[in-house]
Structure 1
Amino acid sequence: MRHRHARPYSLWQNGKVERMNRTLAQEWQYGRAWGSEAGRASALPAFIEHCNWERPHSACGGMPPMSRVVGVSNLLAHNT
């Protein structure tokens, strides 16, 4: 992920950001009881990896988002 600013008054872009924030809150941040903030923070990269490569998304027809990127649809590309 990299930081990108949405255009002002662009509800379409802001909606995608808000949906990602909701997913992070429900499934990662508050999805389980964490022993510490450091433990929760260290789990974030693995969660993002899971969301991009494994978690089915309805907008992608039940496929993970990386399945839509041409040339990155196999495990070899993922692990190199």
Structure 2
Amino acid sequence: MFQSIGIPGLIIILIITLIVFGPRKLPEIGAAFGKTLSEFKKSATGIMNSDEPEVHAKKKTSEDIQAVTEPMEK
């Protein structure tokens, strides 16, 4: 998919992104993009390993319980 872009295309995309968002927003956008990719990878790995019984027998932690109850409190 990205094989036809090449180095000049990537440089143009980077320059346009820098002009549109500015140098102050780029680190925030990069961090958000990285978190999104890591969450996607974690979910995809979980789906691929869903045949294993450990995934189904996962114990609920206090964070899981808190994440479920917070929307109810608001």
Q: TM-score, normalised by structure 1?
A: 0.30
- The structure carrying a bigger helix percent of its residues is 2
Which structure would you say has the larger RCO, counting Cα contacts within 8 Å and 6 or more residues apart? 1
Q: TM-score, normalised by structure 2?
A: 0.32
